[in-house]
Structure 1
Amino acid sequence: MKRIVFASLLLVCTFTSAQLRTNTWELSGTRIPDYRNKQNLTEVNFITGFADTLTVFRQMSFFITNSSISDSLGNLLFYSNGQWIANRNHDSLENCNEFNAGYSTDQYYDGRGLGFTQGMIIIPHPDSIFLYDLFYITTEKKFKYHHNLYTEAMHLSHSVIDMRLDNGLGAVTLKNEYLIEDTLIQGKLSACKHANGKDWWIIDHKWNSTIFYTWLLTPTGIEGPYSQSIGSIIINDFGPGEAKFSSDGSQYAIESNYDYFIEHYNFDRCTGQLSNPYKFFNSTYLVNDFVGLSFSPNNEFLYRCSQLNIIQYDTKVKNFFNYPDTVAIYDGTYAPFPTWFSMTQLALDGRIYICTWDGDSVLTYIDNPDIMGIACSVVQHGIILPYLNNESIPYFPNYDLSPLGNYVADAGANDTINKGQTIQLGIPPVAGVKYLWHSDPTLSDTTIAQPIASPDTTTTYYLIVTDTSTYSSCNVREDTVTVFLDIADAVHIPKPQNHGTFRVSPNPVSSWLNMIYQSNDDAVFELFDAFGSRKATINLYHYFKNRMLDISALPAGIYEWKVIQRGKSIAHGKVAVIR
């Protein structure tokens, strides 16, 4: 593991603050050569609760790659076309010179912007109101593969912007840091909040491979890359096609237009792992049949855009790709070019907006995307833009995604009783939570929140709670409570220091080892072989409840694990690795 230190619901009167991160959209490209000077271009603003089109005087032009972010009040902070960054005054952000230097920026594309779908993501840094992390692809010169020439992303790059600098206009403080050097697909970067509601998963796909790469952005830095081989090979990744998470982060879908498929997955926000790949392949090899996709705000429907159709899938139905519902067919309008459908973005007003393929002065939108069938109401060319938009629409992750689960594993407070007395453990039950106490004959019931304990000696009781409202690897939490027995003459047994609880699962294990824990302080998990040689280590942050460790490369055998906190071993055990 490499470690590097360094919003769609509409309220009638107002939005919540996190949602306003996506308030301002900078659009428009220019087909004239004078793109180096400021000119009148398009901005879309949702502060009133509806899409309001404005004219802004700025220099930056867009060609597909488009990323921006606003503050908590909806005021634009900065934006980028993948080649340079502009501040809210539409001037160059301080220290953004040579931003994203590489073949595509310097040679292949001119200054109108990069041509990669979802080529950049902007993420507010966890636990900071001033710092913003930028993730973007950096490409190198074309190379040959099977007699075809390819320009591939060779790096996922990272920069940091500090909004305290340049009198509040912001400046780049960390620039063009490579997080990986490998052949990646052209764009389709996506991000989803971790189950803790604070950290962020960043996901990308390796070119000519089934491998997904993920990184975890935390308050102290970036963890990863982690790799997972799953799903289909992506080779012909150039051109259109999107990758999106559902609003709740439980689903993920990715298109490869010139590989003629879309693939749907389940996503685990705790581990960053994908599962259950489900693919639709167009055996007719229809060109430009996979150019855009979005999930509905209620997470039930997946919309796929081809140039000529918009198709709705009900993801609650088994094998849903077998039941496409065409909710719109291109109506033949020119504005001034054919208003074919292209890329999509869910907006603050709950609509899904769709830019056009050829760069027109209109946007299409799905008015009620939570409704099944044609009642979702696709309004073609329903938004008139003041200027041409060069096939560009911003990509936003769900900045307002909440943590998973609101339950707490609480076995109650440690206490002392006299011999022969009983005591009630735990706290009042929470709806939707299952309780399981480790089997103990001194408990009245092991499946309720507050059993009666009648110990005849000092006893520690273990409670496991499971949140049944969500399916993920971190819907299980654990706590302990110790009942001390007053033996005679009010002599109390000293209470040991509580370092927390730690356990591993499964045991035996063959691939991913799950560390499940509760602790008020950070710790380190270490794994040793039979000869005492350390084979793996991972940080256990106190704000997590579990961490995953890939042990698939370790040979079979019995391994010892230890948890180190403040330089001392506070827990240990053994785990069997099988092959």
Structure 2
Amino acid sequence: MKVLLAIFIWSIFTLIGVGQNKYDYTWTFGTNIGSNKNLNRIYFSDTGIVKIDSLQSNFNIFGDKTFICNQDGDPIVLFTNCSILDSQLDTMYGNYTLKSNRRNYWCFDPIDYYYPYDQSMIILPDNHKKNIFPILLMDIASIERDQDSLKALDYGILYSMEMNLTNTISKRLVNNWNQVHFDTFAPGHLTACLQDNGKDWWIIVPLDASVCYLIYEYTSAGLNILGRTCVGSKIYGYSDGISSTSFSPDRTKYARYCPEYGIQLFDFDSKTGAINRPKYFHEEGGRQPFGGICFSPDSKLLYVFSIDSLYQYDLTSDHVESSGILIDTLDRSTGKTNISAFNSGRIGPDGRIYIGGLAGGQYLSVINNPNCRGKKCELIQQAVRLPGNHDYTMTYAPNFYDFKGVRECKETNSVDLNNENFEVFEKRGDFIYYNFKDKSGWISIYSINGKLIKTMKNVSPSGVISIEDFTPGAYLIQANWGTFHYEYKLVKN
């Protein structure tokens, strides 16, 4: 199918991507419960979406999941906690062991199952051993409310295993069900980030109903525990299973969000793995039952997805807690069916933030310029139409690169048509009329894939551009004249 018209491939971001590993360049989405078993898949380049398609699964893939691609961006596996599936969505050798040792019933059904807690597993590339991928997996068990003074009804048990792809014919899970630590963890909330050497990993695991966290590192020697750190006073209680955790791309912040209890934001020391200086706040008008968080690529902003509202916090502010602004509320007046709420989001390889909905949505919303403050971040609601409905969560993966090459949000003299009281571009059929008032300038036209179609330099202050020979689709027209810069989104039918 054609790539959706609402995503335009003018890039505010230029990633330092020469030789960059593409571990998250293909995203696979789950299906909504009760719908068919067709899964949606999105393929990225450095500048945007290049293809969207669907594929058939024998399984009803719904709920928490993670994924990883090879260094070229081709999908390797989709992991649902209950099963690990290859690129064709068939089970990998050793998959049957994931049904063993379970403390609860979530994975008992061989076809229709889902794990209900968020971020319950991580797959990481071992940067020391080619084709070895360490896995951390959380299983859950139920407790009484007063057992061990725990406040949450389910607690997590942390295990490790490996995915071995050295034999292309016999890819398999190995070293399964090694209990990492004999303690009670939150039922999900696993996240990781690269260490400063670009090879090893930091992993933080919250303990259940506690202000304490266990800090791990994965190095050439394997998985090591560095210790326990207890910081702050905020405890997540019964609803801690619905939660989102993330490191900032620059590895200076660690955040945890539970819709009922709010946001916990910590400073993170990427040299030692320590978290400190906690801040607590809750989005205005919040208290939704579901939601998530995502840092901007430059790590200066934090976005909070709260179902019908999207908020942005300024992490450079001296008062982060009170810096939140409402970016937008969910637009239900578009006439589109199966729209998606603001439930969870993640940074794409192109530097945009893609936002998934809640149970049954067929769209992704997109933040085109997520490093920009306020409305300049350019949220486009229901921008990407998927072939079918997707489930309630974006497929999770850690940040595999730090986005240090992203360009800062640049203030420009972009024309505000309401204030300037004239139209720069006007489409009439297959002709685009432009008006730069009394200044000459230049115009560039780009395709949906970011390819330069046409450049016109030193054009007269006003004129007309013919698009008769253009194929139907989406285009971006960029114009510069004097000190002004303007962008016009064009769709030819």
8 Å contact from structure 1 (residues 60, 86) kept in 2: no
8 Å contact from structure 2 (residues 95, 173) kept in 1: yes
State how far apart, in whole Å, the 1-side matches of 2:266 and 2:15 are.
Answer: 36
CA deviations over 1:374-427 (Å, ceiling 9, x no partner): 110111111101111011212222222499xxxxxxxxxxxxxxxxxxxxxxxx
AA aligned opposite 1:41? L
State how far apart, in whole Å, the 2-side matches of 1:40 and 1:360 are.
Answer: 14
8 Å contact from structure 2 (residues 363, 383) kept in 1: yes
Question: Where does residue 325 of structure 1 map in the other structure?
Answer: 325
Larger radius of gyration: 1
Equivalent positions of 1:266-305 (< 5 A) are 266-281=267-282, 286-288=287-289, 291-305=291-305
**Deviation, structure 1 residue 142:** 4.5
Higher relative contact order (CA 8 A, sep 6+): 2
8 Å contact from structure 1 (residues 197, 402) kept in 2: no
Question: Where does residue 307 of structure 2 map in the other structure?
Answer: 307
**Deviation, structure 1 residue 271:** 1.2
State how far apart, in whole Å, the 2-side matches of 1:183 and 1:282 are.
Answer: 29
AA aligned opposite 2:245? A
8 Å contact from structure 1 (residues 61, 81) kept in 2: no
CA deviations over 1:24-79 (Å, ceiling 9, x no partner): 11113242388xxxx43211111373223211122344333121111111111111
**Deviation, structure 1 residue 233:** 1.2
Q: Secondary structure at the match of 2:95?
A: coil
State how far apart, in whole Å, the 2-side matches of 1:295 and 1:110 are.
Answer: 35
Question: Where does residue 157 of structure 1 map in the other structure?
Answer: 159
State how far apart, in whole Å, the 2-side matches of 1:363 and 1:324 are.
Answer: 23
Question: Where does residue 256 of structure 1 map in the other structure?
Answer: 258
Residue 16 to residue 151, structure 1, CA distance change in 2 (3 Å): farther
Q: Secondary structure at the match of 2:63?
A: coil
Equivalent positions of 1:5-44 (< 5 A) are 15-32=17-34, 39-44=37-42
State how far apart, in whole Å, the 2-side matches of 1:109 and 1:264 are.
Answer: 39
CA RMSD of aligned residues (A): 2.9
State how far apart, in whole Å, the 1-side matches of 2:366 and 2:88 are.
Answer: 29
State how far apart, in whole Å, the 1-side matches of 2:131 and 2:121 are.
Answer: 19
Question: Where does residue 233 of structure 1 map in the other structure?
Answer: 235
CA deviations over 1:255-299 (Å, ceiling 9, x no partner): 1222x21011110111110011011046977333x6111111111
**Deviation, structure 1 residue 193:** 1.3
State how far apart, in whole Å, the 2-side matches of 1:18 and 1:301 are.
Answer: 24
State how far apart, in whole Å, the 2-side matches of 1:55 and 1:42 are.
Answer: 4
8 Å contact from structure 1 (residues 359, 389) kept in 2: yes
Q: Does 1:221 align with 2:219?
A: no
8 Å contact from structure 2 (residues 33, 62) kept in 1: no
**Deviation, structure 1 residue 119:** 1.5
Residue 136 to residue 366, structure 1, CA distance change in 2 (3 Å): same
8 Å contact from structure 2 (residues 298, 371) kept in 1: yes
8 Å contact from structure 2 (residues 253, 267) kept in 1: yes
Aligned length: 388
Q: Secondary structure at the match of 2:382?
A: strand
8 Å contact from structure 2 (residues 202, 217) kept in 1: yes
Residue 356 to residue 113, structure 1, CA distance change in 2 (3 Å): same
Question: Where does residue 91 of structure 1 map in the other structure?
Answer: 90
Equivalent positions of 1:41-440 (< 5 A) are 41-47=39-45, 49-51=47-49, 52-99=51-98, 101=100, 102=102, 103-106=104-107, 111-145=112-146, 151-167=153-169, 170-224=171-225, 226-231=227-232, 232-258=234-260, 260-281=261-282, 286-288=287-289, 291-332=291-332, 336-337=337-338, 339-401=340-402
Q: Which structure 1 segments of 5+ residues have no match? A: 1-8, 404-579
State how far apart, in whole Å, the 2-side matches of 1:109 and 1:116 are.
Answer: 19
State how far apart, in whole Å, the 1-side matches of 2:353 and 2:285 are.
Answer: 28
State how far apart, in whole Å, the 2-side matches of 1:100 and 1:249 are.
Answer: 35
**Deviation, structure 1 residue 188:** 1.4
**Deviation, structure 1 residue 138:** 0.7
Q: Secondary structure at the match of 2:383?
A: strand
State how far apart, in whole Å, the 2-side matches of 1:33 and 1:379 are.
Answer: 26
CA deviations over 1:78-136 (Å, ceiling 9, x no partner): 11111100112321111111316421533599733212211111101131121001112
8 Å contact from structure 1 (residues 363, 380) kept in 2: yes
**Deviation, structure 1 residue 206:** 0.8
**Deviation, structure 1 residue 183:** 2.1
Residue 81 to residue 222, structure 1, CA distance change in 2 (3 Å): same
8 Å contact from structure 1 (residues 100, 138) kept in 2: no
Identity %: 21
AA aligned opposite 1:58? S
Residue 387 to residue 233, structure 1, CA distance change in 2 (3 Å): same
Residue 110 to residue 188, structure 1, CA distance change in 2 (3 Å): farther
State how far apart, in whole Å, the 1-side matches of 2:384 and 2:92 are.
Answer: 30
Question: Where does residue 479 of structure 1 map in the other structure?
Answer: none
State how far apart, in whole Å, the 2-side matches of 1:178 and 1:319 are.
Answer: 41
8 Å contact from structure 2 (residues 21, 72) kept in 1: no
State how far apart, in whole Å, the 2-side matches of 1:173 and 1:18 are.
Answer: 28
8 Å contact from structure 1 (residues 262, 280) kept in 2: yes
CA deviations over 1:140-184 (Å, ceiling 9, x no partner): 1353349999552331111101112351x6211211211123221
**Deviation, structure 1 residue 205:** 0.6
AA aligned opposite 1:26? T
Equivalent positions of 1:500-515 (< 5 A) are none
Q: Secondary structure at the match of 2:181?
A: strand
State how far apart, in whole Å, the 2-side matches of 1:219 and 1:10 are.
Answer: 37
State how far apart, in whole Å, the 2-side matches of 1:18 and 1:48 are.
Answer: 10
Runs of 4+ in 1 over 6 A off after TM superposition: 9-14, 146-149, 282-285
Residue 370 to residue 283, structure 1, CA distance change in 2 (3 Å): closer
Question: Where does residue 528 of structure 1 map in the other structure?
Answer: none
Residue 148 to residue 244, structure 1, CA distance change in 2 (3 Å): closer
Residue 79 to residue 312, structure 1, CA distance change in 2 (3 Å): same
Residue 40 to residue 307, structure 1, CA distance change in 2 (3 Å): closer
8 Å contact from structure 1 (residues 365, 378) kept in 2: yes
**Deviation, structure 1 residue 323:** 2.0
8 Å contact from structure 2 (residues 354, 367) kept in 1: yes
